[in-house]
Amino acid sequence: MLLFWSLATLLIAVTLALLLWPLWRRHHKSLAPDADSAAIAVYRDQKHQLDADLAAGTITAAERDAALTELARRVAEEMAESPTGAVADLPQRRAWVAGAILLLLIPVVATVLYVRLGHPDATSIAASTAEGNAHELSDSQIVAMVDSLAQRLQSRPNDAEGWTLLARSYAALGRFGESAAAYAHAETLLPHNADLLADYADTLAMAQGRKLAGKPTELVKAALAIDPTHKKALALAATSALEARDSEGALRYWRTLAAQFPEGSDDARQIHALIDQIETAKAQGKPFASSAADAAAPPGAEARALAPSASPAAATSISGLVDLDSGLASKVALNDTVFIFARPVDGSRMPLAVLRVGAKELPRQFALDDSMGMGQGAKLSSASAVIVEARVSKSRNAMPQSGDLFGNSAPVKPGATGVHVTIDKIVP
């Protein structure tokens, strides 16, 4: 941050030098010769000419003296009519005044414009990143950074990117009520953004007890009205239909979603397996409920697992399996929450991608990519290597608590598949 402002100050100084030096230099060069000096020089030249005429005998001494008297009178009159020293110096003083105004105005205007139109927070983020290279951020520091962002945004209500980042950050921390409020504000700034509407619906459903009925479903429909092939919105719409026991509607959405993936891909196979289960239940005259419906019903569970392939960065996503050590199975309740996330091997512990699922879904296939990140500046695809970690949260909070269970992978590169994470440790 200090380096940034030092360079900015140096740039302003160079700009001022380039503007002021030609102004003052041009002024000094353009000043006319002093009027008094010019009159005296003329008097001297004419006196020399009269002396020469006298020596040549062209005029008499009396004529020379009379001419000199007349010449002296005219010179005196011209000098009396010339500007005084103070008046003659007025243009020079004006140049200095103009220079002083520019000297004050340019730095002030540059600073004000940067604060109003630039991104001052970028210096803080850069500073935090630089510090993260020296030591890892603690969980409490991550929370402090998110809370600091929330405070700054109170004075920047029109910063759509900032409010979206805040909403994603709150969601990653498990603070779904605050995340939904931030998404609501961001949605007023970006009213026709399908990605934002789908994320808002997902978070709002989590905030209202993992139910998509009501406002979340309206948001999903709005997202599909903008983009009928939006993967996460389709998955959420299918989940909402299952929640409402609308098997036909769920099948329609799942089939539309399946068509978005290459035939034979892991995503396509997962969707077709779910479609088969729904059709089997329908043929038996039973609603698709029990474990199958429950597994699909948690908002965003299928959406987060399937949406990553929609991202242009799908080639750099990470996929694999999270399972639970059999010795710890008795310590996990069905209503516990599992956070699956990727973080850089070196530097900051800020997650680059986060997936939240129910503990009852373990073992669970997962896929992480840039679409599941907390902001534009932190991308999974930009990391050289990451560690995938899974944590069972008893409090449903993203921050680790004593008694939570966790496990992590070895370092892997973006694009890795078949990553295996076993939850086999307990947070002290």
pLDDT in tens, 196-217: 999 899 889 888 887 888 999 9
Q: Could you identify the residue written with the tokens 């109170």?
A: 154
| 397-406 average pLDDT score | 82
What CATH number should be reported for the domain whose range is 137-304? Answer: 1.25.40.10
Structure tokens at 375: 């902001």
The residue type of 52 is: A
| 304-308 average pLDDT score | 45
What CATH number should be reported for the domain whose range is 311-426? Answer: 2.60.40.1120
- pLDDT of 207 reads 85
Residue 292, class by beta-carbon neighbours within 10 Å (0-12 exposed, 13-18 middle, 19+ buried)? middle
Q: In what order do the strands lie in the sheet with 405-408?
A: 353-358, 337-344, 386-393, 405-408, 425-426
Q: How confident is the prediction for the chain on average, in pLDDT? A: 75
* CA 76 to centroid of chain Cα atoms: 74
The share of the chain scoring above pLDDT 90, in percent, equals 14
Neighbours of 40 (CB within 10 A): 14
Ranges for all domains in the chain classified under CATH 2.60.40.1120: 311-426
Ranges for all domains in the chain classified under CATH 1.25.40.10: 137-304
User: What region does 224 belong to: left with phi over 0, alpha with psi -120 to 50, or beta?
Assistant: alpha
Round to whole Å and give the CA distance between 392 and 338: 4
- pLDDT of 182 reads 92
- Give the ranges where 83-208 is alpha helix by DSSP (H): 85-88, 90-117, 121-134, 139-153, 160-172, 176-189, 194-207
* CA 135 to centroid of chain Cα atoms: 23
- pLDDT of 185 reads 93
* β-sheet bridge partners, residue 392: 338, 405
Lowest mean pLDDT among 178-187, 295-304, 309-318: 295-304
- pLDDT tens string 153-176: 888 889 888 898 888 888 877 788
- pLDDT tens string 322-370: 999 888 888 888 888 899 999 888 766 778 888 888 888 888 888 888 7
